[in-house]
Chains A and B, each alone.
Chain A
Amino acid sequence: MTVGIRNPGTAGQPRRRPAVPNGLYRAGLSVAALVFVALLVAFVVDLVVQARPAFAHFGFSFITGTQWNPVTAHYGALPFIVGTLETTVIAMVLAIPIGLGAALSLSHLLPSRTRAVIGTAVEMLAAIPSVVYGLWGLLVLAPWARTVIEPAVAFVFGHRGPGGGSEIGVGLLLAGLILFVMVLPTMVAISRDVLAAVPTEQIEGALALGATKGQVLSRVVIPHARAGILGAITLATGRALGETMAVTMVIGNTPAITHSLFGTTATMASIIANQFTEATEPFHLASLIAIAVLLLVVAALVNVAARMLVRSVGRSVSAIAVA
């Protein structure tokens, strides 16, 4: 690789550009870092300041209130907190076993060439923009959910409780399914990395004692990567909590708690995307921003926890898995 002085023609008479003193250079870098940190601080402060009217007026009842009514200016965030938890649980119940299974296959079972190709393909899922998932969910998956998935789920639950209500396609279940697809690459990519980091000696030791492939995976590989897998789960959960556009397009955006898998509801992120531009009443805007503050706090905590878990395995999360 060629480095250093690039232009031999002028090597004899270097350009007379005044050299930047080391002190100034270091100061410049520090200033850049400071600007970056200041941006982050401004981020948090700005949101809190914008949300203050809502927190000041409603207090703690903002979190426990079940009514969200711009007409009477009553704002309680509970329906969206519940909606966020419900969609996240549906997504993770599917993503944990399937993601872990795929990660095991990609880290230890498939031949290395297939591994690379499929691994890249699954990571491509992470690159697809959220709106494209939303479009696909709304226009392709929703009709299919109405005619195939929802009747099947309703049958399993006996048309009551979570399986009751009218099957219209959009709603909680569809949002959960889309989220599952969207968090899967995070789950697979990080679990694969931590599973692949299990020392070969341990695996070979188990094989030497007569363990089968399955036993090696379930008794050596998975227990050894426990903390990292937990980190992957937490990080995927963080993505599911904050995912906005795709969910907004398929959940129906009704500000009420639903007890049916087919009911329309809203998540914290989706209600902001759905109502922000039409919020004319000042409390409405402040309340939406207050939801954003709650979302930010939860997402930041989940991310901090996830990164500590993954870091404890001694591997930093790869850039692609984050994106």
Chain B
Amino acid sequence: MSVLTLDPILTRRAEIQRTAEASLGRRQRHSRLLVGLTGACVLVSLVPLVAVIAYTIERGAPAWSVDFFSHAPTPEGIPGGGIWNSIVGSFIIDGIALGGAIPLGLLVALFLANSNSRVASGIRFVTDVLSGVPSITIGIFAYGILVTTLHHFSAIAGSFGVGLIMLPIMIRASETSIRTVPTDLHEAALSLGAKNAAVARRVTLPTALPGLVTGLLLAVARGAGESAPLLFTAIGSQYLTTSPFGPMAAMPLTVYLNGIQAYPDLQQIAWGTGLLLLCIVLVLSVSSRIAVARLGRIRR
């Protein structure tokens, strides 16, 4: 026996085995620690989502009533009143913004999808950069170009700012979608003698429609929640106004302007409006995801 244990080769082998086992144990402990930490990170990332949504529902839901959705605000101190003017205002402002962003976005997307030139990749790049530009600077642009020149605050200036925020999202999503249209379809239409414009209108755009809708939903979700570009353009209003050339209320503005007040009843209005905004934005964004998923299934 003693001969065996003293055998240098066997001793060495046992030593190696011990070291290897110790190393594996150590490495596995490290690994488990790392995996555990990443799991903790996931949990930490989910806490704010749950907290923001839960608190907004808890504080916002009590504000909801029929009056809340059907009346303009009452003067200070008088109970009742709602955010009807903000709802209408948001619809008008975002509607006008879309009216500009959809046609321009589609045309630019068609231009980009049909071209691989340097000009096109340059435009693609600045479009990406534009989507990262702080929205407040876009608000100042809208102020400079439409408020100073017209000499008064107006909803249309707000629409301009919101449209500029929607544009990069629309352009990039539409271009991606148009590019997935099979070349065969395009070429088949051309071979039948169709002009490019007819191919775009009758073949390319209808085929790319689900993707275009997705881009549209994402753009609206983003634009509808923005208040920075409305702050010194549409500026907000206590009354129901429908003229795009005058001041107008909007939901994000109502959240901000009421939220920073010290009065609980105004804060309540802010929570209620915030909840409505949250619902709208989340529904838009979830439905855009469903559209993407459906689209993927059809294509495959």
Contact = CB atoms under 8 A, between A and B. Distances in A.
Interface residues of A, number: 99
Given A129-B281, A136-B56, A102 B167 contact: no
Contacts of B48: 125, 181, 184
Nearest to B170: A319
Interface string A104-145: 111001100000001011101101111111111011100000
A214 B111 CA distance: 47
A140 B271 CA distance: 11
Given A46-B141, A140-B55, A135 B259 contact: yes
B228 A244 contact: yes
Contacts of B148: 50
Interface string A32-48: 11011101101100110
B213 interface: no
A118 B42 contact: yes
A239 B133 CA distance: 8
A300 interface: yes
B252 A129 contact: yes
B28 A131 contact: no
B interface bracket (residues with beta carbon within 8 Å of A): 35 or more
B40 interface: yes
A119 to B, nearest CB: 10
Specify which of A29, A35, A131, A134 lies most central, judged by the most chain B CB atoms within 10 Å of its CB.
Answer: A131
A29 B114 contact: yes
B137 A295 contact: yes
A292 B134 CA distance: 9
Given A47-B144, A124-B282, A124-B285, 14 more contacts: A3-B185, A22-B197, A98-B45, A100-B41, A122-B49, A127-B282, A128-B52, A128-B225, A132-B255, A135-B255, A184-B45, A214-B35, A277-B231, A307-B129
Nearest to B204: A3
Query: Which 3 pairs of residues, A with B, have the shortest CB-CB distance?
Result: A242-B134, A129-B225, A101-B41
Interface of A: 1, 3-6, 19-22, 24-26, 28-30, 32-33, 35-37, 39-40, 42-43, 46-47, 49-50, 97-102, 104-106, 109-110, 118, 120-122, 124-125, 127-136, 138-140, 181, 184, 188, 210-215, 217-218, 235, 238-239, 241-245, 249, 269, 272-273, 276-277, 289, 292, 295-296, 299-300, 302-304, 306-307, 317, 319-320, 322-323
